[in-house]
């Protein structure tokens, strides 16, 4: 099943988070999509499995973000 998670973009000059559709695995980790826009540098490579946690953004919204590779 696909879920929207957020992955941090690197080299943006400020904190930028990209929403992506990731597959939730049975153990609760997420599989990132296998491709990305060429001009973006993701914190984790496409196709990686990541651990996520909920984060509250500056505008008060809450979302799952990729924290670390699994």
DSSP readout, 21-52? EEEEPTTS-EEPPS---TT--BSS-TT-EEEE
Residue 1 has pLDDT above 90, yes or no: no
Residue 65 has pLDDT above 90, yes or no: yes
Percent of the chain at pLDDT > 90 equals 89
What integer pLDDT is reported at residue 37 of this predicted model? Answer: 86
Which tens digits make up the pLDDT trace of 28-62? 999 999 998 889 999 999 999 999 999 999 999 99
What pTM value is reported for the model? 0.92
What integer pLDDT is reported at residue 6 of this predicted model? Answer: 97
């Amino acid at each position: 099943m696909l879920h929207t998670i957020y992955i941090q973009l690197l080299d943006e000059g400020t904190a930028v988070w990209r929403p992506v559709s990731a597959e939730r695995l049975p153990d609760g980790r997420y599989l990132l999509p296998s491709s990305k826009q060429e001009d973006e540098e993701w914190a984790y490579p496409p196709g990686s499995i990541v651990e996520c946690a909920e984060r509250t953004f500056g505008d008060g919204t809450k979302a799952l973000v990729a924290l670390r590779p699994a």
